[in-house]
């Protein structure tokens, strides 16, 4: 291993199950919510995705680290190959670590990158067996990565507001485009910014608890983010006030759940969480299906929404709601990631749908 001799470690789950393994990355113990991801690629993007804050990420794909880690070069605070400016996960669990990575764009190995950022990993574990066990428990379990002969308490990230740790702490403006977008940052992925900048937008990025009710904008985006949506009471209040303006609103992942709660809906934790790049959804209006990237443990329950709200997309695996849309106001949201970096780009057209709703809104308000 690159920075240290291979040390033995243990993955311990909240039910007392222990798995012997080997450390890579930082030789530290950590705890969090153990979740699994079924993607075959995109580990750099997942590891830097703020939606994984407080979680120990387990990859079911057996070979991780084979193409290393690209440069962290950033422009206007948007890192080119990362989904935020740093590693967000608490720890990483993989089956086999590729200790001879190679790629034309590689800047460092996965182990070195984790080591430099103080994040531990374990390899030599049957991650698919762990995924099956986690699914039986409900898609996630509390767990901890332990150095040999060490122990630390379990930590449940769902009990706190994680957006405080991953959101910006001040207003930031990007671009100088035609359309003025107010983007509420609950832990957004950088590719949301990239998708908007490619569509002639000026982006006003504000913290998760920012009072945006007096801001002027053409469209409002509620970003993805980590944790339990019911914790975000202040933003939900602001969203209700924003809906009275009838400016276009686009919610993504956590933003979908918050828009739903603001509209009278409820959320609950999924029995089987959705994390990976291969989740099929159907657009109910047309019957057309799409392959999507997803990362969430909670889902929107639409039973209490008014009749003006319709289900936009539905998950073809378990029939859960994957988005809602208002029947005459320019409000809509999706549970999956239309920016999808890394992952399939089937649904990036939703950003065009959002811009078109802004164009129509501007025309109607002239």
**What DSSP letter does each residue of 304-317 carry, written as one string?**
TS-TTEEE-EEETT
Q: At what angle do helices 254-262 and 233-245 cross, to 10 degrees?
A: 70
CB–CB of 322/293 below 8 Å?
no
**Whole-angstrom distance, CA of residue 202 vs CA of residue 34:** 37
Q: Which residues pair with 122 in a beta bridge?
A: 23, 93
- Cβ neighbours, 10 Å, residue 222: 30
- Residue 295 token pair: 């990362």
- Residue 65 token pair: 């680290």
- Residue 159 token pair: 């009990």
**What DSSP letter does each residue of 65-83 carry, written as one string?**
STT-EE---EETTEESS-S
- Residue 37 token pair: 């991801």
- Cβ neighbours, 10 Å, residue 241: 13
**Whole-angstrom distance, CA of residue 74 vs CA of residue 86:** 11
Which one, of 56, 328, 54, 78, lies nearest residue 183 by Cα? 78
**Whole-angstrom distance, CA of residue 122 vs CA of residue 131:** 15
From the candidates 79, 195, 201, 253, give the one annotated as an active-site residue: 253
Which one, of 275, 186, 271, lies nearest residue 223 by Cα? 186
- Residue 95 token pair: 């089956």
What are residue 270's phi and psi, to 5 degrees? -70, 145
What percentage of the chain's residues is helix, strand, coil (to nearest 5)?
20, 35, 45
**Whole-angstrom distance, CA of residue 194 vs CA of residue 204:** 13
For residue 253, indicate whether it is catalytic.
Answer: yes
Which residues are marked as active site? Answer: 253
């Amino acid at each position: 291993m690159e920075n240290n001799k291979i040390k033995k470690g243990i993955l311990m789950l909240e039910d007392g199950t222990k798995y012997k393994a080997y450390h890579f990355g930082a030789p530290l113990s950590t705890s969090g919510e153990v979740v699994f991801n079924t993607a075959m690629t995109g580990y750099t993007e997942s590891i830097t995705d703020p939606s994984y804050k407080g979680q120990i990420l387990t990859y079911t794909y057996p070979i991780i680290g084979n193409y290393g880690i690209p440069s962290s070069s950033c422009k206007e605070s948007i890192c080119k190959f990362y989904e935020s400016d740093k590693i967000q996960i608490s720890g990483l669990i993989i089956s086999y670590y590729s200790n001879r990575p190679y790629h034309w764009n590689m800047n460092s190995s996965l182990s070195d990158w984790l080591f430099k950022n103080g994040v531990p990993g374990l390899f030599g574990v049957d991650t698919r067996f762990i995924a099956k066990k986690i699914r039986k428990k409900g898609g996630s379990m509390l767990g901890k990565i332990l150095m040999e002969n060490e122990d630390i308490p379990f930590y449940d990230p769902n009990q706190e507001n994680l957006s405080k740790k991953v959101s910006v702490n001040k207003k930031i403006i990007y671009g100088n485009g035609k359309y003025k977008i107010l983007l509420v940052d609950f832990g957004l992925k950088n590719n949301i910014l990239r998708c908007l900048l490619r569509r002639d937008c000026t982006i006003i990025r504000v913290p998760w608890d920012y009072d945006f009710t007096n801001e002027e904008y053409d469209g409002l985006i509620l970003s993805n983010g980590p944790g339990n949506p019911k914790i975000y009471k202040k933003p939900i209040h602001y969203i209700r006030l924003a809906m009275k303006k009838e400016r276009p609103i686009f919610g993504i992942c956590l933003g979908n759940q918050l828009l739903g709660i603001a509209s009278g809906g409820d959320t609950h934790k999924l029995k089987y969480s959705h994390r990976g790049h291969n989740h099929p959804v159907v657009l109910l209006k047309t019957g057309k299906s799409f392959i999507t990237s997803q990362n969430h443990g909670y889902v929107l329950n639409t039973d209490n929404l008014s009749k003006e709200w319709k289900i936009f997309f539905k998950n073809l695996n378990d029939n859960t709601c994957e988005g809602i849309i208002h029947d005459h106001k320019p409000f809509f949201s999706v549970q999956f990631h239309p920016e999808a970096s890394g992952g399939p780009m089937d649904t990036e057209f939703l950003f065009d749908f959002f811009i078109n709703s802004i164009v129509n809104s501007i025309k109607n308000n002239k």
